[in-house]
Copies of this chain bind each other. A is one copy, B any other.
């Protein structure tokens, strides 16, 4: 009769980061607004999945999408305050990786 459970908010947050690519997208957007094709190039994600992930992040209020009707069209993705406030999380992952990830094993 053990009723111990994991905090639902924590679970929700970690399920966000547990989705493949999502962490990398947020990390990359910490550097500032970027367009779709730049994200595919830098992250190495396919258009199909990037599109899906960005829609998701937008729906969760983590990213905004802005259309600039130039030629050719320019669309920029940018973190919201909610998204940007994940920076401390990313910083700690960065710190840990510098100490514990063996660069020879990053294949």
Which residues of A pack against B, CB within 8 Å?
A: 2, 4-14, 17-24, 27-28, 38, 41-43, 82, 85-86, 88-89, 91-101, 103, 105-106
| A96–B88 CB distance below 8 A | yes
Across the interface, A7 reaches (CB within 8 A) one of B9, B13, B19, B97, namely B97
Which partner residue on chain B sits nearest A26 by CB separation? B14
Q: In the assembly, what is the distance between CA of A93 and CA of B17, in Å? A: 9
| B89–A11 CB distance below 8 A | no
| B92–A43 CB distance below 8 A | no
Across the interface, A85 reaches (CB within 8 A) one of B4, B42, B88, B99, namely B99
Given contacts A88-B95, A103-B9, contact A18 B14 (CB under 8 A): no
